[in-house]
């Protein structure tokens, strides 16, 4: 084969492929322990009783965040005060059963009205200027032993960029979950903090925002099928050109 003639056909086609925007797909999940399944000391208050692997939560009085599951949510987990924290649910006077998220297993509960503090994780290996999709499940509930309607929303941040979920208006003793959320962020550094912060009202009747199934993936563009077909056409053209060239020499 005359590789010079072949290259004359192929190089422009490849250049066209690389220059055409394509479909977008996601890379692998960059978040570690996004389901809060790995704990250092069982269930309870983060930063006091236990920690969630790869996540940072401020010590007591800096945050009032927890990891629970459906088995212990209505019976309670330990706190910095050595008294249990439980959520309203069927079986203890609540109006709705506490269910697991679509991710299953454990979930985090962030108090937005008492010692409100963020739950964060450092994400490394980011590509500056690239866009990332953050997905998670969230909901709202209320601490057992308290009464009154509440509101809840979560603020998710990557570096200096932040987005809020919608606000949930929760009836007294209620449980509203699980809602799937997808947010877009642009990396400004190769290493940035991914953080979640609950904001709730009113104070004194502790509402808690629930969080599970956290995932962060990079959006990567690939050639569209129509564009890929140009490659095949280019290759076939090169082969035909080569055959015609051989035929003329015979």
Whether the CB-CB separation of 129 and 224 falls below 8 Å is answered with no
Assess contact for 212 and 107: CB atoms under 8 A.
Answer: yes
Backbone angles phi, psi at 174, to 5 degrees: -95, 180
Kindly report the CATH number assigned to the domain that includes residue 112: 2.60.120.260
Using the predicted structure, report yes or no on whether residue 242 has a pLDDT greater than 60.
no
* 63 and 172 inside one domain: yes
Closest-CA residue to 121 (of 193, 226, 173): 193
Tell me the CA distances in angstroms from 232 to 17, 57, 222, 225, 237, one per residue in order. Answer: 11, 53, 16, 11, 9
Are 137 and 243 within one domain? no
SS3 93: coil
Angle at 196 between CA 191 and CA 200, to 5 degrees: 160
Residues 169 and 228 in one domain: no
Give yes or no: residues 34 and 145 share one domain.
yes
Q: Which of 35, 102, 28, 89 is nearest to 67 (CA)?
A: 35
More confident position, 156 or 225: 156
227 strand-pairing partners: none
- The verdict on 82 and 159 lying in the same domain is yes
**Is 215 in the same domain as 100?**
yes
Residue 8 pLDDT class (50, 70, 90 cuts): very low
Q: How many domains does the chain have?
A: 2
Please indicate, yes or no, whether residues 53 and 122 belong to a single structural domain of this protein. yes
13 and 133 assigned to the same domain: no
Q: How confident is the model at residue 61 (pLDDT cuts 50, 70, 90)?
A: confident
183 and 245 share a domain? no
Share of the chain above pLDDT 70, in %: 78
Is the same domain home to 134 and 185?
A: yes
More confident: 26 or 5:
26
* Parent domain of 7: 3-20+224-249
Q: Are residues 158 and 115 in the same domain?
A: yes
Q: Are residues 108 and 158 in the same domain?
A: yes
Q: Give the model's confidence band at 71: pLDDT under 50 very low, under 70 low, under 90 confident, else very high.
A: very high
pLDDT tens digits, one per residue of 198-221: 999 999 899 999 999 999 999 997
Q: What is the pTM for the complete model shown?
A: 0.81
The alpha carbon dihedral of 120, 126, 131, 134 has a sign of: negative
């Amino acid at each position: 084969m005359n590789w010079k003639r072949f290259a004359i056909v192929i190089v422009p086609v490849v250049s066209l492929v690389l220059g055409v925007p394509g479909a977008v797909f996601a890379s692998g999940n960059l978040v570690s322990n996004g389901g809060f399944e790995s704990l250092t000391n069982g269930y309870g208050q983060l930063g006091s009783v236990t920690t969630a692997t790869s996540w940072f939560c401020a010590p007591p009085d800096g945050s009032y965040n927890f990891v629970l599951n459906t088995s212990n949510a209505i019976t309670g987990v330990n706190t910095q005060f050595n008294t249990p924290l439980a959520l309203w649910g069927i079986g203890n006077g609540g109006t709705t059963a506490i269910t697991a998220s679509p991710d299953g297993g454990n979930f985090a509960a962030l108090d937005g009205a008492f010692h409100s503090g963020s739950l964060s994780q450092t994400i490394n290996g980011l590509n500056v200027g690239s866009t990332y999709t953050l997905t998670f499940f969230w909901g709202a509930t209320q601490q057992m032993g308290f009464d009154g309607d509440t509101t809840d929303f979560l603020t998710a941040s990557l570096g200096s960029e932040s987005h809020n979920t919608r606000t949930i208006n929760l009836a007294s003793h209620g449980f509203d979950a699980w809602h799937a959320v997808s947010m877009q962020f642009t990396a400004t550094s190769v290493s940035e903090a991914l953080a979640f912060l609950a904001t709730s009202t009113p104070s004194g009747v502790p509402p808690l925002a629930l969080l599970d199934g956290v995932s962060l993936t990079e959006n990567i563009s690939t050639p569209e099928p129509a564009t890929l077909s140009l490659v095949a056409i280019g290759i076939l053209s090169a082969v035909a050109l080569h055959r015609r060239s051989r035929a003329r020499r015979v």
